[in-house]
Amino acid sequence: MKIEFWGQEFKVNMVVGCIGGFLIAIMSSMFGFGGGPFMVPLMTVALRLPMYLVVGSSLLAIFFNTSISTMRHYQFGNFDLYFFLAMFPAAILGGYLAPQIAKRVSPLVVKRIACVGLILLALNLLGVY
Amino acid sequence: MKKKTGIVPWLVAAVVMFAGVNVACAVEDTPQVSGQPAAVVAPTITIDKTQLNNGGTIKVSGQVPAGKPVYLEVYAADHTVRASRFDADPDKETGVRPYKFYITSEMPAYYKIFVPKDLQAKIDEEAKKKNKWSYSELLKNLGAEAAYSVPAKAKIDSYQSTLMASIIGSRGDLLPTLDAKENRKRSMQLVKARFRKINNVFAAAIDVKPDGSYTADVNVREGLAPGHYKIVAVVDGNAKSEAATFENKIEFPNVYLANAGTNLNIFYPFFLTLAVAIFGVLMGAGGGFIMNPLLLTLFPALPHTIVAGTVTPTVLFSQASGIFNYSKIKFINWKLGCGIGAAMLLGGFIGPKLTEMITLDQFKFAFGWILIVLAALMLWQTTPGYLAKNKKEQAILKEFKKRAEEAAQGKK
């Protein structure tokens, strides 16, 4: 499939994109996260698209997945209103505050901290400690 | 819910299909407690207070016929929760995996049986099996089968799952209503599926004197459903006391989460989400990755289905605002996004069904590995090779974004 973006043309292998997207969608809707960190590498590495094309479009693709999985979770009764109301304003507020903080910290440091944090969480979930 | 009404034609089909395959699989028969002679006097029960504030201890005392063990069945009378279990364990005799899905929405939000103190050893023994402990076996070993009554009456829906049904994201065909015995047996598995830990459903706390008088400290933990609770003293099937009632009160900021069946201080998830959302934006990943495992770790009382099902819509709105911002400056390729989005739509349809079918342990195991992969991705993004490439990419990204913003402003 050929797409055009800001005056440049790209060839996209939609078979790889769709299969990858499908698998990521199952996983992310099953465990209740967005899937961005998997989607971006898929599109940049496997589909060889440039970053500036990926940032917006991957978000759109993920949005499809998140909205349908929200509906399905709701249908299965997995949604709790009060719990949602406690988290939702915090998420919005966080979205506003984060860019202010982002100017002052190095993304490299954040990523390294995230790495350690994720490993610790993972080991906890796997029951290592 | 809406789902149940549309299922009637399926039910008919299911009955026809099921007629031929109704294999008897009653392995753990529960022996019927034979009725004692009519001489048995009903046990008495008195409690020292009728109100608790988000948990506490109630002293229970009473009188039973001398020489008999006494059990206390304690349950929440005002609130029920959902419990579900996907049965994919091979049948003990035939080795066939049944792939049946059991679900009830009538499980009491709190259910616990208190047994005499001298039975502590039997509970400890079962606890050694870790996650493999069996509710029905322990109930039998403790001799408490007569006390088990409330969940046994919960209406359980069962579904025959098939691969095809899973692909289209359905629970499968609804099977005919279970008979009382089967319902009782399955309800025990659901009690375990719901409350998971032995300490949540059994406690050895009753002192029985030789003359038949008993006292017990019934400890109701924090974070439970509000409303009325009932305590029934049971000696055997025929001899049950009147139900003593007490009320568990919770006050703001503790809020009862009806679907999760637990109350918690509403400020904890608020501040947790705030912190995670900020950190998520900084590291360039949505908050869902950190939010889910953190919630599971910090609030073990929350079922994983509720966590996944409630975090998803929270993430949804931050995505929507992101898309809105990008679309204002025309920085989205709709063709590409919708193309891959269509494939993700299918995946997103199936995923939530799978959440329901796996146990918490499987959920944690899979999530653990996902996080390790994610951590590896993050690590890769801090390697010098990636950084050099990324610097170029980011420069181009900024350049294009600037152009897009200027173009959007120029139009106004």
The average pLDDT across B370-398 equals 83
B342: chain A residues, CB-CB within 8 Å = 18, 64
Closest CA to B289 of B268, B267, B308: B308
Give which of B344, B367, B398 to mutate to test A binding, by max A Cβ within 10 Å: B344
The pLDDT score that the predictor gives to residue B18 is 45
Distance, in angstroms, between A89 CA and closest chain B CA?
8
Which range (B11-25, B32-46, B79-93, B345-359) has the least confidence?
A: B11-25
Residues 40-69 of A with CB under 8 A from B: 41, 43, 49-53, 55-69
Report if pTM > 0.90: no
Amino acid at B48: D
DSSP type of residue B396:
H
Which range (B25-29, B251-255, B367-371) has the least confidence?
A: B25-29
B82, B297, B347: residue with CB nearest A124: B297
Is the model's pLDDT at B75 over the cut of 90? yes
Compute the distance between CA of residue B259 and CA of residue A81 in angstroms, rounded to an integer: 8
Compute the distance between CA of residue B338 and CA of residue B335 in angstroms, rounded to an integer: 5
Contact A60 B332 (CB under 8 A): yes
Distance, in angstroms, between A30 CA and closest chain B CA?
4
Contact A114 B343 (CB under 8 A): no
Distance, in angstroms, between A122 CA and closest chain B CA?
4
Nearest-by-CA chain B residue for A115: B375
Distance, in angstroms, between A41 CA and closest chain B CA?
8
Is the model's pLDDT at B271 over the cut of 70? yes
Closest CA to B140 of B25, B66, B33, B24: B33
Distance, in angstroms, between B254 CA and closest chain A CA?
11
B188 versus B7: the higher-pLDDT residue is B188
Contact B352 A57 (CB under 8 A): no
Divide the 129 residues of chain A into consecutive groups of 10 and give the mean pLDDT of each group. 73 86 90 84 85 83 91 88 89 83 80 86 84
The model's confidence at residue B251, banded by pLDDT at 50, 70 and 90, is confident
Compute the distance between CA of residue B261 and CA of residue B158 in angstroms, rounded to an integer: 22
Compute the distance between CA of residue A36 and CA of residue A32 in angstroms, rounded to an integer: 12
In terms of C-beta density within 10 A (0-12 exposed, 13-18 middle, 19 or more buried), how is residue B251 classed?
exposed
Distance, in angstroms, between A18 CA and closest chain B CA?
5
**B134-168 pLDDT per residue, tens:** 999 999 999 888 889 899 989 999 988 877 776 66
A24: chain B residues, CB-CB within 8 Å = 344, 347
DSSP type of residue B150:
T
In terms of C-beta density within 10 A (0-12 exposed, 13-18 middle, 19 or more buried), how is residue A2 classed?
exposed
Is the model's pLDDT at B26 over the cut of 80? no
**B197-207 pLDDT per residue, tens:** 899 999 999 99
User: Which SS3 state, helix, strand or coil, does residue B204 take?
Assistant: strand
Is the model's pLDDT at B87 over the cut of 80? yes
Task: Report residue B378 as tokens.
Answer: 């993050």
Is the model's pLDDT at B24 over the cut of 90? no
Contact A36 B275 (CB under 8 A): no
Please check whether residue B316 touches A, CB under 8 A: yes
Compute the distance between CA of residue B16 and CA of residue B21 in angstroms, rounded to an integer: 10
DSSP type of residue A44:
I
Compute the distance between CA of residue A71 and CA of residue B345 in angstroms, rounded to an integer: 11
Task: Report residue B387 as tokens.
Answer: 């950084």
Q: Residue ranges of the domains in chain B? A: 2-31+40-249, 266-380
- Count CB pairs under 8 A between chains A and B: 390
Distance, in angstroms, between A128 CA and closest chain B CA?
10
Compute the distance between CA of residue B114 and CA of residue B202 in angstroms, rounded to an integer: 6
CATH 3.30.420.40 holds for B2-31+40-249: no
Amino acid at B262: T
Residues 330-369 of B with CB under 8 A from A: 331-356, 363-369
User: Exposure string (b/e) for B370-402, b if CB count within 10 Å is 16 or more?
Assistant: bbbebbebbbebbeeeeeeebeebeeebeebbe
B374: chain A residues, CB-CB within 8 Å = 37-38, 118
β-pairing verdict for B202-208 and B111-116: parallel
Compute the distance between CA of residue B62 and CA of residue B70 in angstroms, rounded to an integer: 10
Is the model's pLDDT at B30 over the cut of 80? no
Residues 81-100 of A with CB under 8 A from B: 81-84, 86-95, 97-99
Compute the distance between CA of residue B122 and CA of residue B144 in angstroms, rounded to an integer: 12
ipTM: 0.87
A68, A115, A124: residue with CB nearest B375: A115
Task: Report residue B198 as tokens.
Answer: 């032995």
